[in-house]
Structure 1
Amino acid sequence: MKNKIALFLFLVFSLAAFAQGDAYGEAVKKCIKSNGTMAYYEDVMEQMYDMLEVQFRDVNVPDTVWREVKKGKKEAMDELAEMIVSAYRAHFTHEDVKNMNVLYASKAGKNMFEKDALTAGDKKVLSAFYKSETGNKIVSSQDSMNEAMGKISEMWSSEVYRGAIALLSQKGYDL
């Protein structure tokens, strides 16, 4: 009987931890979409595809093959998001990420990413945010996050590039 209770409690706590982890990941994904991180990396992927098309111009890769190569974009972006979630998890709590999402959803948060769009009121909101516990964490972890993001970017982009080259090679197109 004790074993059944222990097993039940283990399952309940495991599911609760998984659900919390999933909620955390979804909150980070919302955050990195709002702050422009995902749009930046979507542009990186498009630039990589353009570069590959130039590199493979002499081997006449048909459009149908390029469309197939580009189908990997969604999966690559999903993998990137998971890698970024891992970096956030090392620096920020779920509450921190929720606070970031509240900021990014606000007028001041949206204006923060637009050139010359900050009003005096926006600056006050941002100043107050960066004086908060979450804001202090963002500032104090900036170097560490930049380092983590640099490693993620390098690892991810080389993996995506190698995958595209491998698919092209598999289809019979080599440099």
Structure 2
Amino acid sequence: MNIGRLFLTLFFTLSFIVCAFGQNFQEKIGEYLLINGTHTQYSNAYDQMFEMLERQFSNENVPSSLWEELKKNKEVEVNNVLTLLGAAYQKNFTETDISEMLAFYKSEAGRQLVVDANTLSENQRAEVSQFFGSEVGQKIASVQKELAADVSQVSEFWSRDLFKATTEKLSAKGYHLPH
């Protein structure tokens, strides 16, 4: 009986540690996707989809209150796509890789690279070059094609599902896309 309890205690302790490790890794990926501009990119894509839908449904006289209601899940939807993207990053990078990427994008050069690469100072250009010449920078380059394919697929599914769900909600309220 004591061996069984010891086994269960050890099992649950290890499970908790593994789960906490995975969650910490996911949190780092989430922070990376926030700081490198990915969150902003998908937030803007969400807004653009609604702008497009509002144009497409312009003849239906959809009340602005309904549009606001439909848009209220923005952060949930953006976080959903970031979670899906996180799986692609976790597939291609280690937690150490993500930590190094985070450190770079938190630096002045990394932040400026995200804002406007054309205005990097000479020192910042040197930092960027050093980062992309590093082991993790080389890894980014080596997995870029596969990562881009994964990101593209996630983006396509996310935007299609979001579009479909939104048009279905509008349809349920009696508003339809013109044929």
Deviations 1:21-50 (A, max 9, x none): 111111111111111111111111111101
Q: Structure 1 or 2: larger helix share?
A: 2
For 1:62 and 1:9, locate their aligned partners in 2 and report how far apart those are by CA, in whole Å.
Answer: 58
What is the deviation of 1:144? 0.6
TM-score for both structures, normalised by structure 1? 0.95
Helix, strand or coil at the partner of 1:173: coil
Total equivalences in the alignment: 175
Question: What does 1:121-140 align with in structure 2 at a 5 Å threshold?
Answer: 121-140=123-142
Aligned-residue identity in percent:
32
Q: Which letter does structure 1 place at the counterpart of 2:94?
A: T
Helix, strand or coil at the partner of 1:116: helix
Match of residue 62 from structure 2: 61
Match of residue 97 from structure 1: 98
Helix, strand or coil at the partner of 1:77: helix
For 1:131 and 1:9, locate their aligned partners in 2 and report how far apart those are by CA, in whole Å.
Answer: 43
For 2:112 and 2:73, locate their aligned partners in 1 and report how far apart those are by CA, in whole Å.
Answer: 32
4+ runs of 1 displaced by more than 2 Å? none
Q: Which letter does structure 2 place at the counterpart of 1:41?
A: Y
Q: Which letter does structure 2 place at the counterpart of 1:142?
A: Q
Gaps of 5+ in 2: none
RMSD: 1.2
